[in-house]
Amino acid sequence: MSRTRVLRPDEKSLALAAAILRRGGLVAFPTETVYGLGARAYDAAAARRVYKAKGRPSDNPLIVHVADEAMLADVVRRITPLARKLIDAFWPGPLTLILEKSARVPGAVTAGGRTVAVRCPGHPAARALIRALGEPVAAPSANLSGRPSPTTAAHVLRDLRGRVPLILDGGPCRKGLESAIVDARGSRPVVLRHGTLTGESIARAAGAPLRSAGGTAPASPGTAHRHYAPSCRVILIPPARVRDGGFVLRGAGLIHRAPWAGRRPAFARRVTGGAGAYAAALFAALRDAEAAGVRTVYVETVPDRGVGRAVMDRLRRAARR
């Protein structure tokens, strides 16, 4: 098994990371959402190495990360008026746009489709890496396929030790959930994956109501397969059951916001604050419950609105069996 180095993203380590990418290798790096596993976006062989390292299904596209709008122009055939509005409002940030891909983007990145998912990450280390390389980076989350997404370098190392030569450690991710994905090819936005950037905010910036995806939605990263699941079973419970202690934990784990007065579980993580705080802590808490050795973790639900829609999307996928 090859060695995996973990380095802080400074000038020297960024140059090393760019050199690895130029040779067709892989590098894990921080974003404001989750850590990404990156390869050169214009290198089909490198993209296939990403799929192999993660055990990712080949029909699940990668997200292309750009450092700025000038780089975007080489990735897509056309920046639509809707895309322009959303870029002006939210880039750099946790928003991925679906647009028609340019001829430079290989099918290995887009799962053979004619559209590409592209975003400009909000983390300065991510943009610095892309600039050091001088071209876009294709990157899904830096975890084994189906596992909870990594929000620290330690999470990446746990999943991908020996599978990636370098992890850039930029500290914990601020947002903690993957980016929202919006089909921006038409005149009205279509949300294909919810994120911490809410549908209401997207509609306001677009100046148009959201449109339903219907049966014409393009292939979108992170939506077609079971995701976000630790090895322990995930059971969702409403806040009222947490407050009244109306279930028996029996050595299981508990991730919650409401006060808990029942018998102490084998693992417990309480997150105070709103849905945004819960989102930021969720994947780390799921991984910690797994590391604690519990076979079942009960997770408190949140209202299915605003950021809560993204939280509940991830929790339902994690609980799917």
Is 35's pLDDT higher than 90?
yes
Q: Are residues 193 and 251 in the same domain?
A: no
pLDDT of residue 226: 60
Distance of alpha carbon 13 from alpha carbon 239, whole angstroms = 45
| Residue 251 is assigned to a structural domain of this protein | yes
Q: Which two tokens mark 101?
A: 């891909």
Q: Are residues 202 and 257 in the same domain?
A: no
Q: For residue 293, give the CATH number of its domain.
A: 3.40.50
Please provide residue 258's backbone torsions phi and psi, each rounded to the nearest 5 degrees: -70, 155
Distance of alpha carbon 296 from alpha carbon 284, whole angstroms = 16
282-315 pLDDT, tens digit each: 999 999 999 999 999 999 999 999 999 999 999 9
Q: What does the mean pLDDT of the chain come to?
A: 94
Q: Which two tokens mark 124?
A: 């300065």
Nearest to 34 by CA among 196, 255, 200, 234: 196
Distance of alpha carbon 48 from alpha carbon 296, whole angstroms = 34
| Residue 164 is assigned to a structural domain of this protein | yes
| Residue 15 is assigned to a structural domain of this protein | yes
Query: How many folded domains does the chain comprise?
Result: 2
Q: Are residues 65 and 197 in the same domain?
A: yes
| Residue 217 is assigned to a structural domain of this protein | no
DSSP assignment letter at 186: S
100-152 pLDDT, tens digit each: 999 999 999 999 999 999 999 999 999 999 999 999 999 999 999 999 999 99
Q: Are residues 200 and 238 in the same domain?
A: no
pLDDT of residue 245: 76
| Residue 224 is assigned to a structural domain of this protein | no
pLDDT of residue 51: 97
Q: Are residues 54 and 125 in the same domain?
A: yes
DSSP three-state, residue 76: strand
Q: Are residues 136 and 61 in the same domain?
A: yes
pLDDT of residue 215: 59
Q: Are residues 9 and 118 in the same domain?
A: yes
Q: At what angle do helices 124-133 and 11-22 cross, to 10 degrees?
A: 50
pLDDT of residue 220: 72
Range of the domain at 287: 233-319
Q: Are residues 143 and 290 in the same domain?
A: no
Distance of alpha carbon 32 from alpha carbon 41, whole angstroms = 20
Percent of the chain with pLDDT over 70: 96
Q: For residue 87, give the CATH number of its domain.
A: 3.90.870.10
Q: Are residues 25 and 129 in the same domain?
A: yes
DSSP three-state, residue 319: helix
Hey, what amino acid is at 286? Answer: L
| Residue 144 is assigned to a structural domain of this protein | yes
pLDDT tier for residue 179 given thresholds of 50, 70 and 90 = very high
The model's pTM: 0.95
Contacts of 3 (CB under 8 A, 6+ apart): 162, 165
| Residue 223 is assigned to a structural domain of this protein | no
194-253 pLDDT, tens digit each: 999 999 999 999 999 999 876 566 667 766 556 688 999 999 999 999 888 777 788 899
pLDDT of residue 31: 98
Q: Are residues 24 and 111 in the same domain?
A: yes
| Residue 95 is assigned to a structural domain of this protein | yes
Q: Are residues 146 and 280 in the same domain?
A: no
Percent of the chain with pLDDT over 90: 87
